[in-house]
């Protein structure tokens, strides 16, 4: 793992959250994107070399909608940049960690992604990210 790529924050209202984070960061978000396969709309802010990703559900059955229903708005995941996502998946499995994805899938921001089970990381959902 090379660096923290981004921190994902689950929000109910992306437009309202964008206004809040525009004020907090003193800068506009630089990108919005919808990931249909995950039922989520995203917005990205730069913080040095890292990013903040705001995530809002696009349907009531999406993982983000379920997360907000269960836990409320807040930090959803921490993402780490990797050079070789498949090798990292295998390395983590060999270390005994459970992965939610055996194979990387397409995520937001032109990335391949995979997730580690939060129960294996002290309740934190860990995302692996690699540029496509």
Domains along the chain with CATH numbers = 3-131 (3.10.180.10)
CA distance 130 to 55: 19
Q: How far is CA 96 from the centre of its chain?
A: 22
Q: What is the pLDDT of residues 67-92, one digit of tens each?
A: 999 999 999 999 999 999 999 999 99
SS3 at position 68: helix
Q: Report the predicted TM-score, pTM, of the whole model to 2 decimal places.
A: 0.92
Band of residue 49 on the pLDDT scale cut at 50, 70, 90: confident
CB 38 within 8 A of CB 53: no
Which residue matches tokens 């939060």? 118
Q: Is 16 helix (H, G, I), strand (E, B) or coil?
A: helix
């Amino acid at each position: 793992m090379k660096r923290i790529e981004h921190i994902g924050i689950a929000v109910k209202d992306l437009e309202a959250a964008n206004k809040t984070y525009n004020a907090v960061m003193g800068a506009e978000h630089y990108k919005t994107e919808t990931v249909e396969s995950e039922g989520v709309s995203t917005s990205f802010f730069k913080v040095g070399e890292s990013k903040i990703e705001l995530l809002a559900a696009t349907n009531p059955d999406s993982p983000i909608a379920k997360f907000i229903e269960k836990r409320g708005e807040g930090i959803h995941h921490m993402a780490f940049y990797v050079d070789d996502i498949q090798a990292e998946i295998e390395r983590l499995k060999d270390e005994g960690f459970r992965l939610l994805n055996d194979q990387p899938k397409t995520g937001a921001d032109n990335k391949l992604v995979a997730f580690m089970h939060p129960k294996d990381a002290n309740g934190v959902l860990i995302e692996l990210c690699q540029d496509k």
